[in-house]
Each structure stands twice: as C-alpha cells, then as structure tokens.
Structure 1
Amino acid sequence: MLKQLKRELLPAREIAKVNAENADGTVTATTRSGKTFRATGSGNVGSYVYIQDGRVLGPAPDLPHSQILV
C-alpha cells in the first residue's frame, strides 16, 4: 500500500521535445502545450523524452497528439 501511495504522490510524467543540450548536463525541452523548462539528463536535439520531477527518464515515442473537447 505504501508503494501505491508513493507512486500517486509523484509529479506527473510529461513528454517533451528536446530543444538544446546544455553544457551543465541538462536539456532545454518544450512540451506540446508550450511549457519550456530545463531538466537534468541528456537527449538528442529534436527527439522526445519523458520528464518527471526535473529529470529526464528516457526516450519517448513521437506519436501523434490530438485533443478532444467534451
């Protein structure tokens, strides 16, 4: 039960496109909603990565995105 609670309390995982690799071991990335930020880790410029709590978790797929208003 404690593992489930910890998992629920973690910040959401986001997919972002890497804009730049910085010399200090971070990347500058932008989400599809337009949020730009720096995250610790690495990624190739132009590729997508998973980001959670300011860290790059790994590569993410480049899948089509759509929004449906309800």
Structure 2
Amino acid sequence: MKARVHVMLKDGVLDPQGQAVAHALGTLGFQGVGEVRQGKVIDLDLAATDRATAEAQVREMCEKLLANTVIERYDIEIG
C-alpha cells in the first residue's frame, strides 16, 4: 500500500525558505505571488494491506520522526 505525507510549517511559524522563494520569484519577474510556504512530501511503500492499519502506522511515523509536531502539521494520503 502507498502512502504520501505532506509536512508543512504551522500557520504563524516563520518560513525563511518560503520567503526566499517568494523573493526569488519576484526577482525573476513573476508578479502577483503572495506568501509562499515551503514544505516536504514523503512517499512511503507500506507492507500493510488494509487502509486503517496503514494510516495508523503512518500517523505514528509522523508523530515520532517525520514531522516536528511542535512547529509542523502533516496530512496523510493512503492509496
């Protein structure tokens, strides 16, 4: 079973990488770009065969390693 995790900084947490991207886009002539937030996507190939087990495993992975839950939020897609 496949899983995809999207990890983003929580609202209100400073995103210096996003600010750098926004600045660079403006420098390259891309107008009208507002705030930019940068995150990460993690794709996992799981041995689990049922959706509930897979989601529980990925949630535990996120809580223990994949996301810093103090400053980041995550969304899980199971497919």
Query: TM-score normalised by the shorter chain: which range applies?
Result: under 0.3
Normalised to the residue count of structure 1, the TM-score between the two structures is 0.28
Normalised to the residue count of structure 2, the TM-score between the two structures is 0.26
Name the larger-Rg structure: 2
- Higher RCO structure, 1 or 2 (CA under 8 Å, sep 6+): 2
